[in-house]
């Protein structure tokens, strides 16, 4: 499914180009060049939308302009039509769990000071020293056991329970604090710390907060197991779920992320409605969001909840 906001802008761009060309404001070469630019820059979208792809080809061939103009107008009206059920995407990062005491790499007293991230969180590091990586994640699980969900976790969980079909909750975090807050259907984009993965049969099974030492796969009895966290250099299959949510949702909410891993600033430009909550100002992120709260997630939680509920009620 295409992002309705992105598609709207593409239709508007094409419509404007046609108008300029037909009124001789741009020449044939400029017109074709710009239409080709739209076509190349949005290849994925064109492949997924036959109607828009046909409009582009007709524009290039200078065919059926009046029909094309009317179809573009109709498409824009359909896209602008309000949905019967608005949807909200709440994407979170390390900042939301940092307030619960979960250590991050980027904090001043964080994991950077103890570990080289590429030695414990990358495919090459794992290949060089799998025991170091296993010890690292064992320590993360031990540390997580004593941590508790905070007000921001509880707020997101409450929204998800109250609006189960209208709220999507993908998170970059591998902890289980959303689940412990009672949040159903959390999408862990980078895996789950409290699970292990079997390298033989590929099954994923829960280990909780225990060490992986001497653990065997309950399905195939193999001892060839590893952490269930996506490493640098690996594909993150749950990103497909994130893309689906981005395509379907009307409000983009981001809590506690620098945007260094997922380009939230780029995604925010696709949305008419967006909200960012980070502790500190960031001129690489802030300008792309309509609403910005610079404070702890626990302090902003009530305002975020009110904003989302007000949005869904409209």
CA dihedral (132, 138, 140, 143) positive or negative:
negative
CA–CA separation, 208 vs 175, rounded Å? 11
DSSP reduced 3-state for 148: coil
CA–CA separation, 98 vs 150, rounded Å? 10
In terms of Cβ atoms closer than 10 Å to its own Cβ (0-12, 13-18, 19+), residue 187 is middle
Question: What positions carry a catalytic annotation?
Answer: 190
Q: How many residues are recorded in the chain? A: 314
CA–CA separation, 99 vs 62, rounded Å? 58
- CA–chain centroid gap for 171, Å, is 7
Q: Which residues of 253-276 are buried (b: 16+ CB within 10 A; e: fewer)?
A: bbbbbbbeebebbebbebbebbbb
| Alpha helical stretches, state H, the chain | 4-22, 28-41, 43-48, 50-61, 65-80, 94-98, 117-120, 123-128, 130-145, 151-162, 177-180, 239-248, 264-268, 297-313
The DSSP bridge pattern shows strands 273-278 and 291-294 to be parallel
CA–CA separation, 295 vs 314, rounded Å? 27
How many alpha carbons lie under 13 Å from residue 279 in its C-beta half-sphere? 14
Q: Which residues of 293-308 are buried (b: 16+ CB within 10 A; e: fewer)?
A: beebbbebbeebbebb
């Amino acid at each position: 499914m295409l992002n309705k906001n992105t598609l709207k802008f593409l239709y508007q761009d094409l419509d404007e180009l046609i108008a300029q060309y037909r009124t001789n404001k741009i020449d044939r070469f400029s017109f074709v060049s710009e239409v080709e630019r739209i076509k190349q820059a949005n290849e994925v979208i064109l492949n997924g939308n036959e109607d828009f792809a046909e409009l582009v080809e007709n524009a290039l061939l200078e065919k059926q302009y009046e029909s094309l103009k009317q179809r573009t107008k109709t498409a824009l009206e359909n896209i602008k039509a309000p949905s019967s059920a608005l949807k909200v995407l709440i994407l979170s990062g390390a900042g939301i769990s940092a307030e619960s005491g979960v250590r991050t790499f980027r904090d001043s007293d964080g994991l950077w000071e103890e570990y080289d991230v590429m030695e414990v969180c990358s495919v090459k590091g794992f290949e060089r020293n799998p025991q170091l990586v296993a010890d690292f994640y064992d320590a993360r699980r031990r540390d997580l056991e004593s941590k508790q969900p905070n007000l921001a976790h509880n707020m997101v969980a409450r929204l998800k329970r109250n609006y189960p079909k209208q709220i999507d909750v993908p998170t970059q975090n591998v902890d289980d604090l959303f689940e412990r807050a009672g949040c159903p259907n959390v999408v862990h984009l980078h895996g789950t710390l409290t699970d292990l993965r079997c390298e033989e049969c590929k099954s994923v099974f829960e280990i909780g907060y225990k060490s992986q030492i001497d653990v065997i796969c309950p399905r195939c009895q193999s001892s060839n197991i590893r952490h269930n966290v996506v490493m640098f250099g690996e594909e993150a299959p749950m990103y497909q779920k994130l893309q689906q949510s981005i395509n379907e949702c009307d409000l983009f909410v981001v809590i506690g992320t620098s945007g260094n891993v997922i380009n939230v600033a780029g995604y925010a430009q696709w949305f008419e409605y967006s909200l960012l909550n980070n502790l500190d100002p960031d001129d690489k992120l802030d300008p792309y969001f309509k609403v910005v709260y610079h404070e702890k997630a626990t302090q902003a939680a009530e305002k975020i909840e009110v904003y989302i509920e007000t949005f869904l009620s409209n």
